[in-house]
């Protein structure tokens, strides 16, 4: 009898240690579902879909899968099996395939087959853009700190942009003439 309690206690202790590995995780599956919900329609439609997914337990099941399986895989391997992969984006100009990997995104237009690569360099804290005909990417954004970035301007120079409503608005106003000229 005591042996059985010891065995059950040992199993519970091992199970508890696996569940409580201090891994918060990114909850990529749940966040993908929430992200999809934001694309469905206006805020009222989003709320209705949210309520329906709570009643049907879509969010509950995805959160449980994240907690028990996906976040554990992410913790032990360093990779989240859901976070990266392929997404299809419906845009005004057609459909785009977005492939995510550890360093960035490859965006392919289904209309004309054109490809653009966005890469993040963690050492330099920069985002760059590259097309297949380019040997190296062109840096378009450098992370300075939590409140500021440097962005390439219409003149080709890097400009400091505050990450707040005023900074983004000022950058948009500066970049808008160049964006309109390329259309």
What is the tens place of the pLDDT at every residue in 113-155?
A: 888 888 888 899 888 888 888 888 888 888 888 788 888 887 8
Inform me whether the pLDDT recorded for 16 exceeds 70. no
What is the tens place of the pLDDT at every residue in 28-67?
A: 778 877 887 787 667 777 777 777 677 766 677 777 777 7
Cα first-last separation, the chain: 80
Q: What local confidence, expressed as pLDDT, does residue 14 receive?
A: 44
Q: What local confidence, expressed as pLDDT, does residue 77 receive?
A: 63
Q: How large is the average pLDDT for residues 73-101? A: 71
Inform me whether the pLDDT recorded for 15 exceeds 70. no
Please name which of 173, 148, 142 lies closest in space to residue 162, comparing C-alpha atoms.
Answer: 148
Backbone angles phi, psi at 47, to 5 degrees: -65, -40
Q: What local confidence, expressed as pLDDT, does residue 84 receive?
A: 66
Cα 126 from Cα 147, distance rounded (Å) = 15
The alpha carbon of residue 148 and the mean position of all alpha carbons in its chain are separated, in whole angstroms, by: 20
Q: How many CB atoms lie under 10 A from the CB of residue 28?
A: 20
Matching residue, tokens 């100009």 = 93
């Amino acid at each position: 009898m005591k042996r059985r309690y010891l065995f059950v206690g040992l199993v519970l202790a091992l199970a508890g240690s696996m569940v409580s590995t201090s891994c918060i995780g990114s909850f990529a599956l749940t966040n993908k579902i929430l992200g999809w919900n934001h694309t469905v329609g206006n805020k009222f439609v989003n709320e209705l879909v949210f309520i329906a997914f709570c009643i049907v337990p879509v969010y509950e099941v995805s959160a449980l899968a994240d907690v028990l399986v996906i976040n554990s895989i992410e913790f032990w391997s360093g990779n989240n099996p859901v976070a990266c992969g392929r997404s299809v984006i419906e845009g005004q100009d057609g459909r785009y395939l977005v492939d995510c990997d550890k360093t960035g995104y490859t965006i392919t237009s289904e209309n004309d087959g054109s490809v653009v690569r966005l890469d993040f360099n963690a050492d330099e804290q920069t985002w760059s853009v590259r097309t297949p005909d380019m040997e190296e990417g062109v840096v378009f954004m450098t992370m300075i700190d939590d409140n500021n970035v440097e962005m390439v301007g219409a003149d080709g120079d890097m400009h400091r942009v505050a990450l707040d409503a005023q900074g983004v608005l000022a950058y948009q106003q500066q970049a808008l003439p160049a964006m309109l000229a390329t259309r």
